[in-house]
Amino acid sequence: MAIDLSVTDRFASRHIGPSDADVSAMLDTLGVDSLDALVDEAIPASIRSDRPLDLPPAVTERALLNRAQELAGQNDSHRSFIGMGYSGTVTPPVIQRDILENPSWYTQYTPYQAEIAQGRLEALLNFQTMVIDLTGLEIANASLLDEATAAAEAMMMLNRITKRQKSRTFFVAEDCHPQTISVVQSRAEPIGVNVVVGDPNTFEFNDDVFGVLLQYPTTDGSIENYRDICERAHENDAYVTVAADLLALTLLTPPGEIGADVAVGSTQRFGVPLGFGGPHAAYFATKERHKRQVPGRMIGVSKDAEGNMALRMALQTREQHIRRGRATSNICTAQVLLAVMASMYAVYHGPEGLKDIATRVHDLTKILANGLEQTGHSIRNDHFFDTLRVDLDGITQDAIREAAEAHKINLRYFDDGSVGVSLDETVSADDLDALFTVFGATNGKKLYAKDVATDLDSGYDGPLQRETSYLDHPVFHKYQSETELTRYIHRLARRDLSLTQSMIPLGSCTMKLNPTAALMPISMPGFTDVHPFAPSDQTEGYRAVIEELSDSLAEITGFDGVSLQPNSGASGEYAGLLVIRAFHRANGDKNRTVCLIPESAHGTNPASATMAGMKVVTVDCDDNGDVDLEDLTAKAEKHSDELAALMVTYPSTHGVFEDHIQELCDVVHEHGGQVYMDGANMNAQVGLCRPGEFGIDVCHLNLHKTFSIPHGGGGPGVGPICTAKHLSPFLPGHPIVETGGDQAIDPVSAAPYGSALITLISWAYIKMLGADGLTQSTKTAILNANYIAKRLSDHYDVVYSGDHGRVAHEFILDLRPFRKNIDISEQDVAKRLMDFGYHAPTMSWPVVGTLMVEPTESESKAELDRFCQAMINIRTEIEEVENESVDLDRSPLKQAPHTAEMIARDGWDLPYSRERAAFPADWTRADKFWPTVRRVDDAFGDRNLICACPPMEAYQTDDEEDLKEALTA
């Protein structure tokens, strides 16, 4: 036999958990002959694709990294002084390695299970405290998707809280960043808000204005005093949002002190790489009285079952899973990992360090301004922080551009011939010298920064100097050596359960492997240091990645067009619905505004539909959890003239491939509607079926689920939309960079390609798996889910299954009988799982009182067996309560989770042993994950909302009254 020259290190065998022997054993358990036979039982033949994926063959990890390095080299390393909301920054290496590149931080889930998430909850509380302090406002959330969407969220919030419910005008200062203006406009139009863009100094308020957006400093760098405008706005019952640069706020009077009601902005320049536009965490701060209206997640302080301080996500009742179409926003995945990085940047530098950085950036800008003025150019800004707008003298903009190109420098070129320069933390004296040369600053002899500097005083000496202190909390003072910060970062990480501990079987969230090789390119300087508005001939490497990824996603979904712009699944939903809306409008169907949504839909669906200006009509589900075809038909008929779309999740949110999906699509099409597929469950389809082939018109994908981008503890995410040919012309555009269809809708994100940096991860994932590996992954995901479902079926009821009794890639366990009979809920099971070292499955969604389990293909049989054992042991504990051998309140289920402190404390008097409490299964002896707090009291925290770092006293008390006092003092 000839020698086989193919490689041995196939990535698929590392990505996919079960070995061949495991697969056989699992198939035996399931009583099927082959994996293909199982898949045939799970997926209706009618929707199976008849052609395999046509993708380039799989490459090894090493080959992938070489290719990534090569493409990084094709991004030109110009110095970008473009500004516009994106600044160069130095990511402290300790933060890069110990957070960004540390799976104990990036593989975590959103901190719904607070008891095993105290680490990142603390980091996020630090983030909120940082934002509150720097903006001078009262409360802040734990991040939004980007600055532009944060401004749009502010507009929407002001529109909800205005006393003048009839007023429809939102005024936007013309000197906001252009992408911010575009995104606000795109958000406003569908909900009937009229955006007026103009000069805030001359704007005349009237009865119709409910809010204002200003930028501080302005997009071209000026520091304006907005006190009068805030006053005039308030006199006219309008609210004010200020988009502000956090670094500038270390030197300037904060928005909260000049009268702003809301402050928004980006925290990118706090140590988060440019990455060609993202991901970056935006912030949102406002006054306490608007707390119930704040979009996104807020972290709050509460107490645990023993009265100790504990953190958790606050005010969940504002969110889409509860309020659906009436939710405060559709934000689900946000930018947690990036918010954690930014907060650690502030922790590391502290207030003095940040002020030093800001002062240096300002001093450099002052030197630049002075030198340019010596040359005869004039600086348009009376007062500035880090950005100048230069009116040229004796040289044309074209000549500057040519000189800048020669020096590999990017500047901002305004239409009126002026030139913008924006400096940052990475700028050196050499950079200034180069800029002087570009601007022809010779003044008889060549200018040097060090010479200009001799005549200037350091520091910001203009108006609106900051007088109040910030970051006074000890956390911003204690960790400024690398040793201390390293230990702090790891201390927090140890409090959190992540994929480095055990599988996170979250139905619908697809917490699969985030391959190391796929993540390595996001640290390559050729990718990290690229400004999103850099000229296209400098970004060929990125463009190749974007094109290859888009092509692969189109092939996988069976669609024609792809936009990578949306920064989350929910943002994709909104974008997809806007595309449908634009399609109808282009056909003259302005009145098509009804969106049919099954009652089982994810809460973001109705929330997104409302944002897209659609009227949500709910469609029933039948007893099997499927969309009720009869009800759908009746409603499609009833709304035939106004039907815009059906939003459907496939396989269904109940984890089943519905047989009649094509019929559903046909009904909607007959009545002139379009079908939107929520692609969160694409992990059950890749390589086996294509939504574009069974009647869907547009879908979003969650690259942070199906395509291996880590969840980051609640973001980043990428939610691209894929469209059939007739919808592709409407894919979102961008005001600065040409992208999208030829009848593009306005942008849905600040950056043209959204979170471009992390699209590398999905690009790498697809390349390393290839067509066969991707398809095998899907099949294995289905196998793993069916295996657990089968193993647990003697102990729990599985709520829904398909015609052959099979589930798709996830399934629902019914706990409702226990709740009803003995008052043990899915919560109790979730908390007890923590003692076993497991994160709970998705709780109470899509069915209240249940757990939805999704193991993914990455988990081995050994891990699946451990999880099953934990669930079976828990079932035994439930039985002990059922047969009354243990008192409910004193059962391990109600006492869970158990902390080390509780176990070690003298005087144990519970009816089960300490040993069983702490080591409820064998493996926990060798590898114990300790929850750091007992069960967290949500109601207490919501009643006493504290969303900034509490005073040190609160950390030291375990007395409820003292805690309350410390928190509210």
Query: What is the C-alpha separation between 533 and 735, in angstroms, rounded?
Result: 10
Supply the minimum distance, in Å, between the C-beta of residue 719 and ligand PLP: 5
Supply the minimum distance, in Å, between the C-beta of residue 778 and ligand PLP: 17
The residue (of 436 and 811) whose beta carbon lies closer to ligand PLP is 811
The residue (of 239 and 650) whose beta carbon lies closer to ligand PLP is 650
Supply the minimum distance, in Å, between the C-beta of residue 507 and ligand PLP: 8
Supply the minimum distance, in Å, between the C-beta of residue 12 and ligand PLP: 25
Supply the minimum distance, in Å, between the C-beta of residue 773 and ligand PLP: 23
Query: What is the C-alpha separation between 284 and 262, in angstroms, rounded?
Result: 7
Supply the minimum distance, in Å, between the C-beta of residue 240 and ligand PLP: 29
The residue (of 423 and 511) whose beta carbon lies closer to ligand PLP is 511
Q: Tokens in use for 936?
A: 């967290």
The residue (of 252 and 696) whose beta carbon lies closer to ligand PLP is 696
Query: What is the C-alpha separation between 769 and 711, in angstroms, rounded?
Result: 20
Strand 239-244 versus strand 209-216 pairing type: parallel
The residue (of 44 and 717) whose beta carbon lies closer to ligand PLP is 717
Computed from CA positions of residues 73, 78, 84, 85, in that sequence, does the dihedral angle turn out positive or negative?
Answer: positive
| β strands within 825-895, DSSP E | 842-843, 850-853
Output the residue with the shortest Cβ distance to ligand PLP.
569
Helices 661-670 and 629-638: crossing angle in degrees, nearest 10, is 10
Are 749 and 565 in contact, with CB atoms under 8 Å apart?
A: yes
The residue (of 512 and 531) whose beta carbon lies closer to ligand PLP is 512
Supply the minimum distance, in Å, between the C-beta of residue 864 and ligand PLP: 21
Supply the minimum distance, in Å, between the C-beta of residue 803 and ligand PLP: 23
Tokens 């999905």 correspond to 762
Cβ-Cβ contacts under 8 Å for 391 (sequence gap 6 or more):
377, 378, 379, 380, 417, 418
The residue (of 420 and 712) whose beta carbon lies closer to ligand PLP is 712
φ, ψ for residue 934, nearest 5 deg? -80, -175
Supply the minimum distance, in Å, between the C-beta of residue 180 and ligand PLP: 21
Task: Please report, as ranges, the residues that interact with ligand PLP according to CB under 6 A.
Answer: 332-333, 508-509, 568-570, 602, 604, 649, 653, 678, 680, 702, 717, 719
Cβ-Cβ contacts under 8 Å for 937 (sequence gap 6 or more):
302, 303, 304, 305, 310
Tokens 């984890």 correspond to 655
The residue (of 343 and 510) whose beta carbon lies closer to ligand PLP is 510
Query: What is the C-alpha separation between 943 and 44, in angstroms, rounded?
Result: 49
Q: Tokens in use for 267?
A: 């925290």
Query: What is the C-alpha separation between 542 and 788, in angstroms, rounded?
Result: 41
Cβ-Cβ contacts under 8 Å for 104 (sequence gap 6 or more):
490, 493, 494, 496, 498, 500
Q: Tokens in use for 443?
A: 């003044």
Q: How many CB atoms lie within 10 A of CB 235?
A: 9
The residue (of 539 and 652) whose beta carbon lies closer to ligand PLP is 652
The residue (of 55 and 337) whose beta carbon lies closer to ligand PLP is 337
Supply the minimum distance, in Å, between the C-beta of residue 62 and ligand PLP: 31
Supply the minimum distance, in Å, between the C-beta of residue 125 and ligand PLP: 21
Supply the minimum distance, in Å, between the C-beta of residue 654 and ligand PLP: 11
Q: What is the 3-state secondary structure (H, E, C) of 216-259?
A: ECCCCCECCCCHHHHHHHHHCCCEEEEEECCCHHHCECCHHHHC
Are 46 and 58 in contact, with CB atoms under 8 Å apart?
A: no
The residue (of 261 and 626) whose beta carbon lies closer to ligand PLP is 626
Query: What is the C-alpha separation between 9 and 121, in angstroms, rounded?
Result: 39
How many CA atoms are closer than 13 Å to the CA of 64, on its beta-carbon side? Answer: 29
Query: What is the C-alpha separation between 209 and 166, in angstroms, rounded?
Result: 9
Q: Which amino acid is at 961?
A: E
Largest CA distance in the chain: 96
The residue (of 410 and 600) whose beta carbon lies closer to ligand PLP is 600
DSSP lists the bridge partners of residue 539 as: 75
Supply the minimum distance, in Å, between the C-beta of residue 720 and ligand PLP: 11
Are 333 and 573 in contact, with CB atoms under 8 Å apart?
A: no
The residue (of 568 and 801) whose beta carbon lies closer to ligand PLP is 568
